[in-house]
Structure 1
Amino acid sequence: MQPTNTKKTFPAKPERHRRFGSTDPIPGSKPTRKEQMADLQNRREDYLFPIDHVGICQVQQPIRVLSELEPKSQTSIATIALTTSLPRESKGINMSRLTEQLEVYRQQGWTCQLAELCGFVAELADRMGQDNAEITLTFPWFYERSAPVSARTGLNHAEASIKVAYGKGQPFTAAVSLRVAVTTLCPCSKEISEYSAHNQRGMVTMTAEIDPASPPVRDWKAMLLEAAESNASSALHPVLKRPDEKRVTEQAYENPRFVEDMVRLVAADLYELEVAQAFTVECRNEESIHMHDAYAKITYDKRKEEEAR
């Protein structure tokens, strides 16, 4: 018995598109050349208010990250916001120039070093014809971590963020941030229980304002990581064998921390960092025996001490 040929035959692709709703282009009367098109954004009039920040956000780009810890050079994915100022008499900005600026730096193999970002925002303000420009990058930063007993290694990660701002005739400003996961063990639970104590995952977020003209000698990411982990009940580890688990469990029991303890201890470390002109420390403990989270926050500006002298 001969096999039946069941191969389907379709109309040509243009006909298929037509059947599913595609139509021919309509004749147009508006210009197609850029120099003949209306430029609404550059119209001058009284538009009621100047705008502090206007631009684009949630842009994702690969970025090369340099690190004090292994891996010392890595490629991460940054979520980027780019903004400039806009005077009252200007209707809008040329937003395509923002992504054009990104592409120029991407092709140059840019990194998220402070000096490069200062150059970026200064060029951006000039390209946009504005007095102010700002860039914010948020990206996962990976670092190698060894287990405390077996020394087995793996990669941990924290969320890093950098904001650099330029203002015409003013010094650059920069704020760096790191969000780190740690273990915290409840001091109250340890105190009142005959045995054991409940612990939780703590999320520590540290933001420090630094002077880009006097960047830190060490990697700021490593310094903030150390401030969070050294004050926690225990750091987190990607690889733990049984002897390692015993060590970190006992370490957490020996170092109980309330959320209030965490922000105060981390704040003390940041206060001692000369490069940190001002800082904010937040801690949120994801409680293991409650439906709610515990939260604390400290904000401190060392520059006010100098003003008071």
Structure 2
Amino acid sequence: MKHTPSPRSRRIAPVVAVTAAAALTLAGCSSDSGGKKAEEAADNVSAGKADTPRMTIAMVTHAPSGDTFWDIIRKGAQAAAAKDNVKLIYSNDESAGGQANLIQNAIDQKVDGIAVTLAKPDALKDAIAKAHKAGIPVVGFNSGMDQWKDQGLLEFFGQDESVAGEAFGEKLNETGAKNAICVVQVQGHVGLEARCAGVKKTFKGKVENLYVNGNDMPATKSTITAKLKQDSSIDQVVTLGAPFALTAVESVSDASSKAKVSTFDLNKDLVSAIKDGDIEFAVDQQPYLQGYLAVDSLWLYKNNGNYVGGGEAPVFTGPAFVDKSNVDTVAEFAAKGTR
């Protein structure tokens, strides 16, 4: 009988493959006795930087302005670009229509590859199809875990938001929470909706979605505060981004609520809040790694014909929980802007 791996084993396999490949690369480069063999193995890399022909990669995201999460993604992408002799063209537009236009701009510039987020995948179908027609390879990252293969993308790097949400709900059960609100900052964003749906699936208590305008933080704060004042039984605020978690802490104080705050995503300010006890825990999806792998994968494809994950399975960068038990370890890297 044919053995079918469990969903968990399927999720882990691509990550293991990447880790093993990285270990082999490090072993080859650090060997004292490798000599010319190490040089040959490195092939197109010299002194830690590729000497392959200059290529241009466009990274197109749905990032809103002012969200530090996207600064970390961009930092990872820039690091890979510097290593791979890549000219990186980064652009972002929170609206799906604007993002589609940016993809078209990249096509018009005849870039060598496109890395894109699929927060609202249906609105990007036509633009991505045009990239395929133009012979431009496209990879996905961060958003669109369930849609990347349907749209013909080569690879995907990110977090399964449904799985992350389910793990989050289980964590809430451990903390003893009973009544939670899940604060959604962008309506129609498939990844954010999947997170809250995942929480609802495993959390034994009550969960209600609370929609806010993520582009207006004072309004977001007021909406959360009003909800907490309206329902004093709410004992948990779940946010879907670090800046919103920090704002929720202020809302809890303003509402004189006893609710605790936990969140998806991380930044250095949130790490400090976990240390101080203002935030219970965070789920880290490693945005630096997403940006880095998205760019590096396109270089590997163009120069070596490589597919990370074999073109069939996504490469998972999360979820990983950060709480008081391990926050000191993460803090060092958060200060550097890589976590």
TM-score range, shorter chain: under 0.3
Structure number with the bigger relative contact order (C-alpha 8 A, sep ≥ 6) is: 2
TM-score of the superposition, structure 2-length normalised? 0.22
TM-score of the superposition, structure 1-length normalised? 0.23
Higher helix share: 2
